[in-house]
Chains A and B, each alone.
Chain A
Amino acid sequence: SQKIEQNSEALNIQEGKTATLTCNYTNYSPAYLQWYRQDPGRGPVFLLLIRENEKEKRKERLKVTFDTTLKQSLFHITASQPADSATYLCVPQGSGTYKYIFGTGTRLKVLA
């Protein structure tokens, strides 16, 4: 069955450093992959989408990579800030399907 794994333990980093979150998937070949941010008591909010033919995507301080050979996506936040503290969810998505299967999520805490 399809499986998505993210760092199960919380990630604590110092303000100003780069946070790197990992998403690994098995048993399917997504056409694209999305990253969402979720704050406590809120629904997830879309951040970035990267397609299978794109190696890297950037948006302000965010960068996502997508390696279809390794079946892995990396999500980077550069110059991290305490306001970046949240849970980050990855969603590999097959083409032509509406079903979004969310990863387990990684809780990031940026320490001031």
Chain B
Amino acid sequence: SAVISQKPSRDICQRGTSLTIQCQVDSQVTMMFWYRQQPGQSLTLIATANQGSEATYESGFVIDKFPISRPNLTFSTLTVSNMSPEDSSIYLCSVQEQGESPLHFGNGTRLTVT
């Protein structure tokens, strides 16, 4: 199964700044997703990272706040822009190798905004 490396593993950021999170997969995958997990909560899908085109965002998430890049089938980035303390969360990259196969996750980026 795919191995996912996510960087950074954690960061503490100032309000108003931006952070870019990287997700690297050890094999080519069709589907890549970004999730958010707020403290004590379950996972919420932010967007699907589409290779070569704009990401598909879920309700409540917008490109200006969470720009996503996917330059190829093994790499994606998520930027959290103009951060506020409400953005403090764990951000998780996940991939799906083929339709209806399970998701594989990175270990997440724990973001704290002060």
Considering the chains assembled together, what is the distance between the CA atoms of A44 and B104 in angstroms?
8
Number of B residues, CB within 8 Å of A: 23
Q: How far is the CA of A48 from the CA of B69 in the complex (A)?
A: 31
Mark contacts of B35-68 with chain A using CB atoms, 8 A cut-off: 1 yes-contact digit, 0 otherwise: 0000001111100100000000010000000000
Name B's A-contacting residues (CB within 8 A): 4, 31, 33, 41-45, 48, 58, 92, 94, 96, 99-100, 102-108, 110
CA gap between A99 and B45 in the complex, in Å: 8
Q: CA–CA, A93 to B107, complex, Å?
A: 23
Interface residue tally for chain A (C-beta within 8 Å): 21
CA distance A41 to B109 in the complex (A): 9
Residues of A that sit less than 8 Å from B by CB: 32, 34, 36, 41-46, 49, 89, 93, 95, 98-105
Q: Which residues of B contact A101 (CB under 8 A)?
A: 45
Q: Assess whether A49 is in contact with B108, with CB atoms less than 8 Å apart.
A: no
